[in-house]
Structures are given as structure tokens and as C-alpha cells.
């Protein structure tokens, strides 16, 4: 084998190792990372409190003043 072939094989193996490490680290990050919640964000116009509630409710009662509020649409 010539020197050029050995260098190409060495570089290709090093690049493959870096790619494999990158793929495994991305899989690990997705597995152990925080998941997206389905909570909705509400803002009370009476007391200006911003709070969250379950995603399946249309209107939520403010925990500070008790007024019913609709979810914020982004």
C-alpha cells in the first residue's frame, strides 16, 4: 500500500468515527432532553397574571383573581 492510500483510509475512518459519535449524541439528546408540553398559556387582563393550564381546556380560571380567560394565540 502506498502512503497516499494509508492517509486516505486513516482520514476516512476518523471522519466516520466523528459522524457516528455525532449521530449517537443526537439520539441521546433527543431521548433524555425535555419534551414539548401541550400546555396552553393564559393571560388574565384583570390582574395581568400569565399562567399555564392543560392543553385540552378552552378557558381557564385565573388562579389569582378567579376570572375565566381564553388562551393566548401566537
| Residues 21, 50 within the same domain | no
State the cell numbers at 43: 393571560
| Residues 5, 28 within the same domain | yes
Q: Per-residue confidence at 5, pLDDT binned at 50, 70, 90?
A: very high
- Using left for φ > 0, alpha for ψ between -120 and 50, and beta otherwise, residue 66 falls in left
Q: Is 48 in a helix, a strand, or coil?
A: coil
pLDDT tens readout for residues 34-69 = 777 788 899 999 899 999 888 888 889 898 888 889
Provide the number of structural domains found in the chain. 2
| Residues 18, 47 within the same domain | no
- Could you list the residue range(s) of the whole structural domain that residue 45 is in? 40-70
Contact predicate 62/41, CB 8 Å: no
For residue 66, how many other CB atoms are within 10 A of its CB? 10
Contact predicate 48/72, CB 8 Å: no
Amino acid at each position: 500500500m502506498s502512503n497516499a492510500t494509508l492517509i486516505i483510509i486513516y482520514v476516512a475512518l476518523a471522519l466516520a468515527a466523528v459522524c457516528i459519535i455525532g449521530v449517537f449524541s443526537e439520539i441521546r439528546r433527543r431521548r433524555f432532553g425535555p419534551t414539548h408540553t401541550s400546555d396552553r398559556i393564559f393571560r388574565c387582563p384583570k390582574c395581568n397574571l400569565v399562567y399555564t393550564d392543560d392543553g385540552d381546556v378552552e378557558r381557564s380560571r385565573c388562579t389569582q383573581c378567579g376570572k375565566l380567560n381564553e388562551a393566548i394565540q401566537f
